[in-house]
Amino acid sequence: MGAVSRAFQYQALPMRVRFGVGSIADLPAEVADLGLTRVLVLCSPNHQSTGQLVADALGDRAAAVLPEARMHVPVEVAHRARALATELHADGCVAVGGGSAIGLGKAIALEHALPVVAVPTTYAGSEMTPIWGLTEAGTKRTGRDSRVLPASVIYDPALTVTLPSALSVTSGFNAIAHAVEGLYAPDTSPLLALMAEEGVRAMTTALPPIVDDGTDLDARSEAQYAAWLCGAVLGATTMSLHHKLCHALGGTLDLPHAQTHTVVLPHVLAYNAAAAPDAVAALARALGTTADPARQLWDLAGKLGAPQSLRELGMDQNDIPRIADAAVASPYANPQPVTRDGVTRLLRAAWAGEPPHPIPNQ
Ligand code: NAD
C-alpha cells in the first residue's frame, strides 16, 4: 500500500489499563480514583472465591458479590443484577472473570450508566469493547454503546493461571479471531493493524508454553498482553463473516463460545484470504511463516488439542442450512462476497473437521 492511497479514521476509546502480575493490588486505588464508594462485584458461580477475594480487598467500597454471571447474559440475570444495584445504591461495578462476568457489568451499565471496572481472567477481550449482548428466549441481541465500555481494566496475568489448558487455548483463538477480522475490517487503520499483527504473534507464541505449564507466568503475561491488543482491535472495528457466523452458532444452537471461534476461524480466513492480501501478509509475518496462515492456525489448534469440528461441539449437520441462512440474512462488510453456497461449503468443512479450503477471489 502506498502512502498516498492510505486514508483512515481512528477513534481512541477512553479507558485506563493497568497491566502486570500482581496488579490486582491496584484495584482499591483504581476504584477510589474513579470516585466509587459502593461497588457491586460480579463473577461467575464457579468463580465465587475470586469474587470474594476482590470484595475483601475492596473492604467498605464493596457493597456485595453477585456470583450469577452466565454465558451470553440472559435477560433474567441482567434484571436481577440491575435490581440489586439499585437496591444497594451501587455507584459502580467490578466485573471479575471472563466475557460472561464483564457482559453482566455491561448490562447494568447499559441501563444505569454505572462505571464498570473490568478484571478479565480469560482472553475473550470484552473488557476492551463498547459492545453489549443480551439473550432473551434463545435470541441474542448485541449493540454498541459508549456507556458500556469499562472505565478501567486491570489485567493481572496471575489471575489466569487457573484457567484450564483447553479453555486457555480456545479463549486464545477467540482473541486471535478479533485480530484477524480487524486486519480486513472496512474501518481498520495502521495502528489497529500493528496491534492485530502483534496480538496474533504474542498469542500464538504464548499458547504452546501455557499448554505445557499453565503456571508459566511469562507465557500467561504474553497471552494476556495479546488479549488486550486483540480486544482493543475488536472494540474499534466492524465485525465480518467470522463473528457473524459464531454469533449465529452460539445464539441459535448454544454452541460454546470460545470453542466455536476456534473451529470456525481457519475456515473463514481461508474463505476471505484471496480477497484480503494485506491481512494475509500481516498474519504470515505474525506466525513467522511463508505458508498459508489459515492452514497454520488450523494446524496449531490441532497441535494444542483444541476442537477442530463443529460436530464434536454438538452441532447437528441438519442445522447447517439455517446457520447459512442467518449468515446471509442481512448484508455486512466482508472481503469476499458472502454467498449462501459459499457459507454452506464453509460450514460443511468446519462441521466435519476438514482442513480449511481456500477459495479463489470472486
Ligand atoms: P466465560 O466468561 O463464560 O468463562 C468461561 C468459564 O471459565 C466460566 O465458567 C468461568 O467461570 C471460567 N473462568 C473464567 N476465568 C477463569 C480462570 N482464570 N480460572 C478458572 N476458570 C475461569 O467465557 P469467555 O469465553 O471469557 O466469554 C464468553 C462470553 O463473552 C460470551 O457470552 C461472549 O459473547 C462474550 N464476549 C463478548 C465480547 C464483547 O465485546 N461484548 C467479546 C468477547 C466475548
Instruction: State the fold for domain 16-159.
Output: Rossmann fold (3.40.50)
The domain over range 165-352 is classified in CATH as 1.10.760.10: no
Tell me how far the alpha carbon of residue 133 lies from the centroid of ligand 1, in angstroms.
13
Position in ligand 1 atom list of the atom nearest CA 106: 41
At 48 the pLDDT is: 93
Ligand 1 mean position to 98 CA, how many Å? 3
Higher-confidence position of 360 and 62: 62
Q: What is the average per-residue pLDDT within 109-130?
A: 97
Which residues' Cβ are closer than 6 Å to ligand 1? 44, 46-47, 71-72, 97-101, 103, 121-122, 124-126, 129, 131, 133, 159-160, 162-163, 167, 171, 234, 257-258
* 77 in Cβ contact with 133 (< 8 Å): no
pLDDT tens by residue, 257-295: 999 999 999 999 999 999 999 999 999 999 999 889 999
pLDDT digits (tens, 9 = 90+) for 348-357: 999 999 999 9
How high is the pLDDT of residue 331? Answer: 84
For residues 183 and 193, the answer to whether their CB atoms sit within 8 Å is yes
What is the whole-number distance in angstroms between the Cα of residue 339 and the centre of ligand 1? 31
**72 Cα–ligand 1 center, Å:** 9
Domain spans of the chain, in order of start: 16-159, 165-352
Share of the chain above pLDDT 70, in %: 99
